[in-house]
Amino acid sequence: MLARYREAEAVQADQVKDVKIINAMSHRMKAAGGLRPPTVQCKASMSTDALNAEAGKARRINGRFAVVAKSAKTVLASRDAKVLDDAKAALDGKKGEASRLLADSDGKVADNATRDGLQQAIDQAGQVRSGKAKAYQDAADALQAAIDQVNASVQSKSQADQQAAAQAAQAQAAQQAAPSNNGGRGGYTPSYRPSINRGGGGGWSVPAPAQQSAPSTPNGGGYNPGVEDWMNSTGHPVCQQGQACGIG
């Protein structure tokens, strides 16, 4: 009885469903005279009346301690009930978390087997029916392990996707920065090139210099080096010495 009472005495108010039972147990223990009950003496030399008085005293003490034992049992039962309720509530919360993760992780995991494991853990948690808190705690632990595996798989796929996107961006940037291959020569090639007409057909041509009046030939004609040079530069026939030149 004392061992049960000591266990109940260590229970805190926030560990039971009803804090009043802790106070009731404490009051009953004081009424019983504490943890050390008074001594009852029964001797052969005692008279019948004395023996009966001691026997009555023992019955009263036993009655008070029976009440204390009952109070201690109530405290421990209230503690266990709260632990069970808390375990059920924790499992319900974990099932909700697992269900949301199962829906949100669709198509976002590197290994879909982790989602299958999470679904299995959710199904098993929904089948727990027990009066022991440990059954619900074990189911919650299994759910948490499955949740951790799915989260790790989601993170793994996210990192792989980011790496692939970065590599694709680098490849695209490198392709855009590479010079174009135009006849083996890089760089820009103009689409129009002016051509110089050297006596050919149409197109752009360098205009001929304006014609100038030929200098007069001194002394009535004959060979004149200055005139010959001028004719050469303008494309006119060269006047030879002793020949007539058709210069107007």
Structure confidence at residue 219 (pLDDT): 47
Domain boundaries, the chain: 2-164
Q: What is the pLDDT of residues 138-152, one digit of tens each?
A: 999 999 999 999 999
Structure confidence at residue 81 (pLDDT): 94
Separation CA 218–CA 164 (nearest Å): 92
Provide the 3-class DSSP secondary structure of residue 57. Answer: helix
Model-level pTM?
0.58
Q: What is the pLDDT of residues 229-239, one digit of tens each?
A: 545 555 555 55
Mean pLDDT along residues 42-71: 71
Q: What is the pLDDT of residues 181-201, one digit of tens each?
A: 554 455 555 554 554 444 444
For 79, residues 6+ apart whose C-beta sits below 8 A from its C-beta are: 11, 15, 16
SS (H, E, C) 85-148: HHHHHHHHHHHHHHHHHHHHCCCCCCCCHHHHHHHHHHHHHCCCCCCCHHHHHHHHHHHHHHHH
Q: Are 135 and 84 in contact (CB under 8 A)?
A: no
Structure confidence at residue 142 (pLDDT): 97
Residue with tokens 């007069």: 216
Indicate the Cα dihedral angle 143, 149, 152, 156, nearest 10°: -140
What's the angle, vertex CA 177, arms to CA 176 and CA 179, rounded to 5? 100
Q: Is the pLDDT of residue 244 over 60?
A: no
Structure tokens at 118: 């999470």
